[in-house]
Amino acid sequence: MMRRVPKALPLLLGLGLALAQPSLEEAEALLRAGEYGKAALAYEEILAQDYGRLEAHLGLGVALAKLGRLEEARFAFLQMTQVFPDRYEGYYNLGQVYLRLAKPKEAAEAFSKAVELNPTEEAYLGLASALSQAGQAQEAAQALKRGLTPERTPAYRLALAQALYAAQARVEAVPVLYGLVNREPGLAEAWDLLARILAEEGLKERALRELDRGLKAVEGKERAKLLLRKALLSPTPEPLLREAYALDPSLWQAAYLLGQRRLEAGDARGALGFLQAAYRVSPEPEVALALAAAYLRLGDAQNAYRYAEEAGPPGTFLKAQAAVALGRKAEALRLLEGLSAPEAQALRGALLLEAGRAEEAVALLRPLYEAGRNPEVGVNLAAGLLALGRLGEAELVLREVLERAPRQAAAWYNLGLALRGLGRQQEAERALRQAASLGSKEAQALLRR
């Protein structure tokens, strides 16, 4: 939050200041009324007459920041630090604006100066936030440790524990958290982080006991955070997730995990409602990814493609699958090109075969098959070998596939084709009949000729 404009300072410069006072009061009234544009113009007018008015510099910066005109607010507060280099407010608010401009290093410099001038809790919290956003977790924790005094609030102590955790100093965070939960037992975030650290240290049962202590102390919807953490540590999470979600429907993680469990159980339609609810609250990449998977299983390729795209790089494989379902196979091939996962390579091999690029398909599928002996990969490898006229190799691969998956209709059909090509008609006939009995329409059509 921006630091509010203080009440008008005592008159120090006699008659000249008194004459400007009505304008300043008007500007402050506009700011309080939310008329930020008019307030900014009023403060500019005051500064045009007297550039040494502290309240006008501060008010102008706040009004511009409220309007979202952040570069102008940055300049206003930067000017304030030039005219009043010993005033805390300019540096503190400059740090806040830099944070909103996603310039954490510049924000850290401004907050550091604010801390030097007046080591307030808000200045230390701003400095730690800037350092964290700049990827300096250890420095953020050290800053909060330096600023720790007996009068610091629970919010400050929680921020310190969170910073220590982010800096991989979990052991240091534990005493801070125990002090916090004993002082403020209703603070759910402290219990949650304490349990998380204990579990990560291998003390899962102790973590669960602490969560139960926390659940006795925490009231209202804040209990949902602890129920969620308990679910993550429990062998039977679903009742806890349901209770957490009922308490706080805005807790997207609970809805997401409920959806994920249904998806893993094969119930894509049952998963969809939970996943959509989670996405409405927080469109996280993992939620979009789960939605893409659910829609793909339900045969809705258009929505699967949309959510896979929103999931970013982790959604590329699902996006390629959706593109195949939408008939955009060339696009799918491009998407799969940089993916190394076996399932992605298997799909790429199948698409290369369909595109008539048998040699590329075989080069891709042979090492993939040898690495995992997947029957479907083996069938596609054999199809590629057949297309290249390498019938003997295709037969060997198919017989190996059928040893592992004797009811693989496509393998029997391709074996029939290979044997026909090798001139072994009776064996080919038997293989094709077996394929037909397993439901191969291609084999059935071939036998009717």
Minimal CA–CA distance to 96: which of 70, 59, 132?
70
The last residue of a domain, from among 282, 304, 339: 339
Query: In this structure, what CATH number is given to the domain that contains residue 287?
Result: 1.25.40.10
The last residue of a domain, from among 311, 339, 367: 339
Are residue 374 and residue 391 in the same domain, yes or no? yes
The pLDDT of 213-237, averaged and rounded, is: 96
Are residue 345 and residue 449 in the same domain, yes or no? yes
pTM assigned to the model: 0.80
pLDDT at 12 over 90: no
Q: How many domains, the chain?
A: 2
Are residue 443 and residue 415 in the same domain, yes or no? yes
Long-range pairs for 188-194 at CB < 8 Å and ≥24 separation? 188/214, 188/218, 188/222, 188/223, 188/225, 188/226, 189/158, 189/225, 190/154, 190/158, 190/161, 191/217, 191/218, 191/226, 192/225, 192/226, 192/229, 193/158, 193/161, 193/162, 193/165
Looking at residue 17, what is its pLDDT?
39
Per the domain annotation, does 350 fall within a domain?
A: yes
The confidence band for 8, taking pLDDT boundaries of 50, 70 and 90, is very low
Are residue 442 and residue 388 in the same domain, yes or no? yes
Domain extent, residue 404, equals 341-449
Contact 37, 15 (CB under 8 A): no
Q: Tens digit of pLDDT for each residue in 26-44?
A: 999 999 999 999 999 999 9
Are residue 329 and residue 429 in the same domain, yes or no? no
Are residue 411 and residue 431 in the same domain, yes or no? yes
* CA distance linking residue 146 with residue 372, whole number of Å: 56
Per the domain annotation, does 207 fall within a domain?
A: no
Per the domain annotation, does 284 fall within a domain?
A: yes
Looking at residue 447, what is its pLDDT?
86
**In which residue are the tokens 């808000």 written?**
122
Angle between the N-to-C axes of helices 441-448 and 425-437, in degrees from 0 to 180, rounded to the nearest 10: 130
375-396 b/e (C-beta count within 10 Å ≥ 16 → b): bbbbbbbbbbbbbeebbebbbe
Residue 367, both tokens: 């090492």
pLDDT at 100 over 60: yes
- Is the Cα torsion angle 11, 14, 16, 19 positive or negative in sign? positive
- HSE on the CB side for 214, CA within 13 Å? 29
Who's near 399: CB < 8 A, 6+ residues apart? Answer: 415
Minimal CA–CA distance to 431: which of 421, 442, 417?
417
Task: Kindly report which listed range (66-70, 101-105, 115-119, 443-447) carries the lowest average pLDDT score.
Answer: 443-447
Q: Tens digit of pLDDT for each residue in 344-371?
A: 999 999 999 999 999 999 999 999 999 9
Are residue 368 and residue 448 in the same domain, yes or no? yes
Per the domain annotation, does 86 fall within a domain?
A: no
Per the domain annotation, does 404 fall within a domain?
A: yes
Per the domain annotation, does 283 fall within a domain?
A: yes
Are residue 310 and residue 369 in the same domain, yes or no? no
Mean pLDDT of the chain: 93
Are residue 404 and residue 431 in the same domain, yes or no? yes
**Coil, strand, or helix at residue 273?**
helix
Are residue 284 and residue 355 in the same domain, yes or no? no
Looking at residue 291, what is its pLDDT?
98
Residue 99, both tokens: 């944070």
